[in-house]
Amino acid sequence: MKFSKSRFLLTLALIAADCVMLGGAYAVSIWFYTYLQKLHFGLMQPYLESLSIMLSAHALLFLLLGMHRVMWNHASIFDLVRLITNCLLSSLAGYFALRITVGGFTSPILGVCAFALFSCGAAFLRLYPKIFAEFREHLAKNHSDSKSIPIIIVGAGDTADNLLKDISSRVGKYRVVGLLDDNESKMGLSIRGTRVLGKVSDALRVAKETAAKEIIIAIPSATTEQRRRLIKECSLTGLPVRMADGVLSFGEATAAKFHSLNTSDLLGRGEQTLADKTTAEFITGKRIMVTGGGGSIGSELCRQIMKCRPQKLIIFDIYENNAYDIHQELLVNFDDFAKDTVEVYVGSVQDKSRLDYVFGKTKPQVIFHAAAYKHVPLMEECPRLAIENNVFGTYNVSGMAVAHGAEKFIMISTDKAVSPTNVMGASKRIAEAVIHTRERGGTVFSAVRFGNVLGSNGSVVPLFKRQIEAGGPVTVTHPDIIRFFMTIPEAVGLVLTAGAKAQGGETFLLDMGEPVKIAELARSMIEMAGLVPDKDIEIKYSGLRPGEKLYEELLVDGEKVKKTPDNKIYIASDERPADITADGIVEKLKQTLTSADKLRDTIKEIVPDYVYTPNN
CA distance 92 to 36: 22
367, 359 Cβ separation under 8 angstroms: no
Bridge partner residues of 93 (DSSP)? none
Largest CA distance in the chain: 120
CA distance 446 to 366: 12
CA distance 307 to 462: 27
CA distance 313 to 341: 6
Backbone dihedral region of 324: left (phi > 0), alpha (psi from -120 to 50 degrees) or beta? alpha
Of 416, 428, 549, 568, the active-site residue reads: 416
Active site residue 535: no
Which H or E run includes 452?
Answer: strand 452-454
Can you list the positions of beta strands (E) in 208-361? 214-217, 241-244, 258-260, 287-291, 312-317, 342-346
Nearest of 484, 421, 417 to residue 448 by alpha carbon: 417
What backbone torsions phi and psi does residue 157 show, to the nearest 5 degrees? -120, -155
Give, in order, the Cα–Cα distances in Å from 313 to each of 40, 151, 184, 339, 352. 92, 46, 57, 11, 20
Query: What residues are labeled active site?
Result: 416
